Amino acid sequence: MSTSPRSLDVKRDWGHDETGCTVLHVDMDAFFASCEIARHSELAGRPVIVGTGTRAVVSTASYEARRFGVHSAQPIATARRICPQGVFLPVDHTYYSSMSRRILSVLRSVTDRVEQVSIDEAFLDVSTALLRWKRPTVIGAWLRREISARFHVTCSVGVASNMLIAKIASTNAKPDGLLFVPRARQAEFIQMLSLRSLPGVGPSTARSFERWGVVNVAQLARLPERDILKIVHSASVAHTLFLAARGESSRQVTPCSPEKSISAERTFTRDTSDRGCIRKLLCRCSDEIATRLRAHDLVARTVTLKLRFANLRYATRSSTSRLPFDSAGAIRDLFYPVLDDLLVRYADSVRLAGLSVSRLSHRAVTTIQPELEWDAAPETAMDSKQSATMSPVAKAMPKTEATSAIESSAPRTSHSCIAAQEKAERALDNIRSKYGQRSVRLGFYDFEPRDSRDE
Ligand code: DCP
Ligand code: MG
Q: pTM of the full predicted structure?
A: 0.63
Strands (DSSP E) contained in 119-170 are: 121-125, 155-160
β-sheet with 48-51: strand ranges across: 58-61, 48-51, 87-89
What is the predicted pLDDT for the residue at 130?
97
Distances (CA, A) of 273 to 94, 278, 336, 443, 447: 29, 8, 15, 21, 16
Q: What is the pLDDT of residues 71-121, one digit of tens each?
A: 998 999 999 999 999 999 998 988 998 999 999 999 999 999 998 888 899
Q: Whose CA is nearest to atom 1 of ligand 1?
A: 59
Exposed, middle or buried: residue 452 (CB in 10 Å: 0-12, 13-18, 19+)? exposed
Strands (DSSP E) contained in 339-378 are: 350-358, 361-362
Q: Are 104 and 81 in contact (CB under 8 A)?
A: no
Q: Does residue 264 surpass a pLDDT of 90?
A: yes
Closest-approaching ligand to the CA atom of 33: 1
* Higher pLDDT pick, 6 / 39: 39
Q: Does residue 51 surpass a pLDDT of 80?
A: yes
Q: Is the CB of 30 under 6 A from ligand 1?
A: yes
Q: What is the pLDDT of residues 55-65, one digit of tens each?
A: 688 999 999 99
Quick one: average pLDDT of 362-386?
41
| CATH fourth-level superfamily of 191-244 | 5' to 3' exonuclease, C-terminal subdomain (1.10.150.20)
- At the topology level, CATH places domain 15-181 in Alpha-Beta Plaits (3.30.70)
Quick one: average pLDDT of 39-43?
96
Q: What is the pLDDT of residues 379-437, one digit of tens each?
A: 333 223 334 444 444 444 444 333 333 333 333 345 566 677 778 888 888 788 777 77
Name the most confidently modeled range: 220-234, 399-413, 438-452. 220-234
Q: What is the pLDDT of residues 7-28, one digit of tens each?
A: 778 999 999 999 999 999 999 9
Tell which residue, 391, 384, 305, 404, has the closest CA to residue 345.
Answer: 305
Q: Is 146 a residue of the active site?
A: no
350 — phi, psi (to 5°)?
-105, 135
User: What is the spatial distance between Cα 379 and Cα 302, in angstroms, rounded to a whole number?
Assistant: 19
Closest-approaching ligand to the CA atom of 60: 1
DSSP 81: H
Domain residue ranges in the chain: 15-181, 191-244, 259-368, 370-449
Q: Is the CB of 235 under 6 A from ligand 1?
A: no
Q: Does domain 259-368 have CATH number 3.30.1490.100?
A: yes
Name the most confidently modeled range: 156-160, 204-208, 316-320. 156-160
Mark 342-380 as b/e (b = at least 16 C-beta within 10 Å): bbeebebbbbbbbbbbbebeeeeeeeeeeeeeeeebbeb
